[in-house]
A and B are shown apart, each in its own frame.
Chain A
Amino acid sequence: MSKYNLVVGFETHVELNTKTKIFCSCANEFGGEPNTHCCPICLGEPGTLPQLNKEVVRYAIKAGLSLNCKIPQIMSMDRKHYFYPDLGKSYQTTQSARPICLEGFLTLDSGKKIRINHIHIEEDASKLIHDAQNIYIDNNRGSTPLIEIVTEPDIASVEEAREYIEKLQAILRHIGVSDCKMQEGSMRCDVNISVNKEGEPLGTRTEIKNMNSISFIEKAISYEYDRHVDLIESGQKNQIIQETRRYDEKTDSTESMREKEDAQDYRYFPDPDFLVLRLDSKFVENIKKTLPKLPAEIKSELIQDGIDEKAADLLVKYKNVSDYYLSAKTFGDSKILATYILGEIFRFLETEEEKEQFNIKISANDLGALSLLQKNNKITAHIAYSIIPKMLKDGNPHTAYLTKEDLEGFDNTEIDKLCQEGIAAMPKAVEDYKSGKEKALKAIVGYVMRATKGKADPVYTENKILELIR
């Protein structure tokens, strides 16, 4: 173990999936022909004024409430100035003095709380496309709504960093405010990193901007940690300067962006085109009422249902999976359904993207019904597992694949007979059981199961055997 602590804070930009942009009625859609989703307002033409999208306010408050934030009574908008072709007005409308959400936290599995300093709303910049000679501007992304979630420097390991981002994604997807696709840029992280020794003040931090993959974030943090520690150990502590760095995935290293970022004065001041907005407590209460159960809550319920923690984590990780599972659960058996989804169905959905979308041909209702058949010993797990892939492929209900024989089961007199046969055939097992080896009974149950090709009810069989040998 190193004697240096890692200290990490996140600034995460999340694109909200409201129907329209933040200040006008243009469509808020990813992609599209360049410059087809824009109007005089989001282009910043002279004389235009912003109209704050109420949905954006709602979404941001949803996010804040889900991250245990306080919603202050008033919020205001500010202007952040800089000249760059991606910013038509030469200022970004954002929040600085009075953001929409304050002081929240996200709880990791260990129980540790990562404090959220604040969440603010702002507009995204346009997209620039560079070629050898020119810069092209695509204004479709210009003025799309973002929230920025700013943590305190509470993250102390690469693992915690990953968990923070994954949990954040799960929460924001659950409440439906963003798809949080890092690869498409709808979630982007600026990561602040410093190191210090226990009990000493925080070290100088460096910031790695615009990270768009969790594994790159992990690598970048590791690299920066080693770089800081190496510099300190070799007596070059003063070489760690507060700066913005870029992570290069090809070389797996970070490099200085050599921009005078911190010297830049953004001249934040209140945007006079906005009134100070009062966030009525009733308005906030009404938003609270619309919030679905959050992943952590669902997870703890699943654990109470008897689902193990790892499975529960996977079931709540993807919003659509969780929704599907919770719906199927109302028609069927929760434990059995978990094995279906995390087993056969996840095997079928290979990529993260596919799991995220969870676009499958089996209705929650039908899968629930299948789990009940298994639970009531009408069919065995083996049969269920064998037909799920067919259902996924063809989209027919489970009834289409179950033969009469599958569903017949065995009548109990036949099973009683087989139990007696088993006891007679395995005297050693009976002896072992009587001398205290409870597991020995399983061998006789297994005998009956084999004889019935798995169609016997294992619970009934075990009870019958017990009855017979007592």
Chain B
Amino acid sequence: MPNNLISLATQLQRKEISSVELTTEYLKKIKKLNKKTNAYVFTNEEVSLSQAKKADQIIAKGAPSVLTGIPMSLKDSIMTIDMPTTACSKMLAKYIPTYNSTVYTKLLNNGAVLLGKTNMDEFSMGSSCLNGFFGEASNPYDTNRVTGGSSGGSAASIAQDTCVYSLGTDAGGSIRQPASYCGIVGFKPTYGAVSRNGLIALASSFEQIGPMAKNVGDTKIIFNVIKGKDEFDQTAFEIPRTTRQNPIIGIDEDHVEKTADKDTLAVFEKAIKACSKLGYKTVKIKSKYNDIYAKLYYILAYAEIASNMGRYTGIDFGYSTKSKYIDTNDFIKKSRSEAFSNEVKTRIMFGNHMLTGENMEKFYYKALKMRNDLVEDYYLNVFSKCDFILSPTTPTAAFRKDYKHESIQESALTNIFALPANLIGLPSISIPFGVSSDNMPIGMLLTGKRNFDNALLSVAENFEKHSGYKVLN
């Protein structure tokens, strides 16, 4: 893919191009292409160019990092003082961040240039990027199709080359699914590998910030900059360095065949062949929990969502009702009712329902226990046989915007392969590997053990070499 991170960094450092020139070029491109995809919801030329100028000075001094001067985008749920951060919700439409997220601070310390904030499903709730307050995002390869979500804007911004890389967030496939739909690489690190400080919370025990880029090599570089423990997030820690020679790849063929469509299965077959080309042994694996990932996710993640969304009362920040209210409760009720979309309200109600009265024991604690059982099962029965799991990222390529999922179960299916990584906290990466019969990108998913992020990225890099995916135009 042209304009990848390493080639641009080389050009910048050889002073063949300046960051200001590069940034200007990208800003022009955004102006031209954003109408098509609505990938960006906020840009600020002044901010971007001043960061680019600073980067050029660092390069002139001869002390750049690989990221210095490289233009990137960030999902709109990642706090940036320089630009609005709204999680694409009416609730935060006028919110001005008071602090920078840890990941943004780290990128800035490396001389990164922020081009803008990318579209997403409101508060990351969705898998389509159709649910944001600032309008739908469209897949650059077919604007009648979704980008996927919730980090759809980030995926589209990379796919149409309106930035070099982006950061998304992934609580249930939200990085990997849009990456697969848009033909880019998307990586969800081990839970805790990257600080969540400054990420507008969706489901705290499920989500991670992760890099989205044009190839695995770029992804690796970005990950190494943003990872690490953080005084502002006590769940963040330093992952160990890992490698895996002669890795064994686990495949749950039955599960994939039952779920994926024909086009996806064809690409999957190629991925399995790639294993033998790479000399990787493959083994059959089976988890007895395949049918309950989505249920566990709905119960546990939505409970966390309901709790995390409580702070939006309109009192201290965010949208406040303009209509008359009787008392504080009425004020809170009206502010929330007017600012949240139905998707958000549904999840809050569902989550609170799971935590209310006897449901707490019946659903929440039962699911919590099963989540632990699932972790145990994976380590005892799956990772005892293999080092990495290979599956498609999603059962199909990007669906049409007007496609109506028949049920909540069916819509959960788009993340069926992605969810275990969130439930267990595993590193997982989607790599573009082929196309569907109608030329839409299809990604393959590699998932590793906790903390084996480096090893996973190395294996993914090797896989990528055998990818049948060519950049579409």
Contact = CB atoms under 8 A, between A and B. Distances in A.
B307 A79 contact: yes
Interface in B322-363: 328-329, 332, 352, 355-357, 360
B79 interface: yes
Contacts of B356: 265, 267
A342 to B, nearest CB: 49
A74 interface: no
A52 B329 CA distance: 30
Interface string B216-236: 000000000000000111110
B352 A267 contact: yes
Contacts of B97: 47
A88 B311 contact: yes
A49 B198 CA distance: 8
Contact of B234 (A50, A90, A268): A50
A46 B234 contact: no
Most buried by A among B85, B198, B234: B234
A31 interface: no
Interface string B353-377: 0011100100010001000000000
B316 A267 contact: no
Contact of B101 (A47, A79, A85, A265): A47
A43 interface: yes
Interface stretch (B141-149, B178-186, B199-207, B427-435): B199-207
A47 B198 contact: yes
Contact of B231 (A51, A79, A89): A51
Contact of B360 (A46, A50, A89, A267): A267
B196 A81 contact: no
A73 interface: no
Contacts of B56: none
Contacts of B204: 272-273
A91 B307 contact: yes
A269 interface: yes
A90 B315 CA distance: 11
B200 to A, nearest CB: 5
Contacts of B92: 46
Contact of A91 (B101, B198, B310, B357): B310
B98 to A, nearest CB: 5
A396 interface: no
A44 B311 contact: yes
A135 interface: yes
A402 B386 CA distance: 90
A30 interface: no
A268 B232 CA distance: 24
Nearest to B352: A267
B310 A89 contact: yes
Contacts of B328: 83-85, 135
A52 B355 CA distance: 25
A400 interface: no
Interface in A29-45: 40-41, 43-45
A269 B300 CA distance: 10
Contacts of A1: none
B234 A269 contact: no
A270 to B, nearest CB: 8
A40 B98 CA distance: 7
B46 to A, nearest CB: 24
A44 B307 contact: no
Interface string A69-90: 0000000000101011100111
A265 B316 contact: no
Interface in A293-308: none
A274 interface: yes
Contacts of A265: 356-357
Given A51-B232, A84-B328, A43 B310 contact: no
B120 to A, nearest CB: 14
Contacts of B234: 49-52, 273-275
Contacts of B166: none
Contacts of A327: none
A211 to B, nearest CB: 25
B313 interface: yes
B304 interface: yes
Nearest to A79: B307
Contacts of B196: 47, 49
B8 to A, nearest CB: 30
A48 interface: yes
B197 interface: yes
B379 interface: no
Nearest to A135: B328
A135 B200 CA distance: 28
Contact of B307 (A40, A81, A274): A81
B311 A83 contact: no
A272 B208 CA distance: 13
Interface in B74-94: 77, 79, 85, 87, 92
A47 B332 contact: no
A369 B106 CA distance: 63
Interface string B36-68: 000000000000000000000000000000000
A83 B328 CA distance: 9
A46 B201 contact: yes
A46 B312 CA distance: 9
Contacts of B332: 83
B248 to A, nearest CB: 31
Interface in A359-401: none
B399 interface: no
A47 B352 contact: no
Contacts of A84: 328
Interface string A262-300: 000101111011110000000000000000000000000
A137 B315 CA distance: 10
A137 B85 CA distance: 25
B383 interface: no
B95 interface: yes
Interface string A133-149: 00101000000000000
Contacts of A274: 234-235
A459 to B, nearest CB: 66
Contact of A267 (B79, B197, B231, B355): B355
A50 B231 CA distance: 10
Contacts of B368: 270
A349 B357 CA distance: 54
Given A85-B315, A265-B357, A267-B355, A45 B98 contact: yes
B201 A47 contact: yes
Contacts of B77: 47
Contacts of A89: 310-311
Interface string B151-185: 00000000000000000000000000000000000
Nearest to A274: B234
B418 interface: no
A269 B307 contact: yes
Given A45-B317, A81-B310, A273 B200 contact: no
A81 to B, nearest CB: 6
A468 B241 CA distance: 95
A273 B199 CA distance: 12
A90 B197 contact: no
Interface of B: 77, 79, 85, 87, 92, 95, 97-99, 101, 196-201, 203-205, 231-235, 303-304, 307, 310-313, 315-317, 328-329, 332, 352, 355-357, 360, 364, 368
Given A51-B234, A273-B234, 13 more contacts: A44-B316, A46-B311, A49-B232, A51-B233, A52-B234, A85-B313, A88-B316, A267-B307, A267-B355, A267-B356, A269-B355, A274-B235, A275-B234
18 contacts: A40-B99, A44-B316, A46-B79, A46-B201, A47-B85, A47-B198, A48-B232, A49-B232, A49-B234, A50-B234, A83-B313, A85-B328, A91-B307, A137-B316, A265-B356, A267-B356, A270-B368, A274-B234
Interface of A: 40-41, 43-52, 79, 81, 83-85, 88-91, 135, 137, 265, 267-270, 272-275
Question: Which 3 A-B residue pairings sit nearest by Cβ, starting from the closest?
Answer: A90-B310, A272-B205, A272-B204
